[in-house]
A and B are shown apart, each in its own frame.
Chain A
Amino acid sequence: AQTVTQSQPEMSVQEAETVTLSCTYDTSESNYYLFWYKQPPSRQMILVIRQEAYKQQNATENRFSVNFQKAAKSFSLKISDSQLGDTAMYFCAFGETSGSRLTFGEGTQLTVNP
């Protein structure tokens, strides 16, 4: 069974600065997908970024980028130029395929301070 671990329950950052959220996972699969989801106070799950394991290039989406280290089973999320609207709970998740059941980490509550 896969496990996903987020070791930072809470983090804070000043507006316009950069913050990195950590995630590690465990699996015996060779190909899989990793995701970062954002859950704002509305509790709607929003996909932030997705990485397919066989792709060596790190995914980027505007201000969001990942550092995917397959051998280390590490998948961190970097948020650049943090904005107040980035305040949310962030979940790291593992899926065997793009649309498969997801295993979520415990979450990191990110607060962006003005």
Chain B
Amino acid sequence: GAVVSQHPSRVICKSGTSVKIECRSLDFQATTMFWYRQFPKKSLMLMATSNEGSKATYEQGVEKDKFLINHASLTLSTLTVTSAHPEDSSFYICSARAWTSGKINEQFFGPGTRLTVL
């Protein structure tokens, strides 16, 4: 149990277009999901905290109008990269904090999404 999926796993888009990445908790409910960004051979940097039914909290330096986050249900959060540019190319990872008996407050990671902007 405790599986988090991300879709798509890889996406290539043209500069100026928008891309949506989905993060789903498959077998548990998650009131909170986190979005991280990872550059090649680098660490994970938290971009924002997504809470179900409320606005996301963004880390300092992250443009909220560029990285739109929606957490519409207890199992789904989406990250939309608007007007993507080559510098947005990166590996995006989500994690979900469980709110289900037996897993309360444990955090589980998705497999990541590789975004390439041409």
For residue B97, CB closer than 8 A to chain A, the reply is yes
For residue B76, CB closer than 8 A to chain A, the reply is no
B interface: dominant SS = strand
CB distance from B78 to the nearest CB of A (A): 19
Interface 9-mer from B18-26, B41-49, B67-75? B41-49
Interface 9-mer from A13-21, A40-48, A61-69, A78-86? A40-48
Say which size band chain A's interface belongs to: 20 to 34
The CA of A86 and the CA of B105, in the complex, are separated in Å by 27
For residue B107, CB closer than 8 A to chain A, the reply is yes
User: Do B49 and A101 have beta carbons less than 8 Å apart?
Assistant: yes
Give the number of residue pairs across the A-B interface with Cβ within 8 Å.
49
A interface: dominant SS = loop
Closest to B99 in A: A99
Contact with B along A33-63 (1 / 0, CB 8 A): 0000100001111100000000000000000
Residue of B32, B34, B106, B112 touching A44 (CB-CB under 8 A)? B112
Residue of B34, B91, B105, B112 touching A102 (CB-CB under 8 A)? B34
- Listed in ascending order, the chain B residues whose CB lies under 8 Å from chain A are 32, 34, 38, 41-46, 49, 91, 93, 95, 97-98, 104-107, 109, 111-112
* Shortest Cβ-Cβ A-B pairs, 3 listed: A99-B105, A99-B97, A45-B109
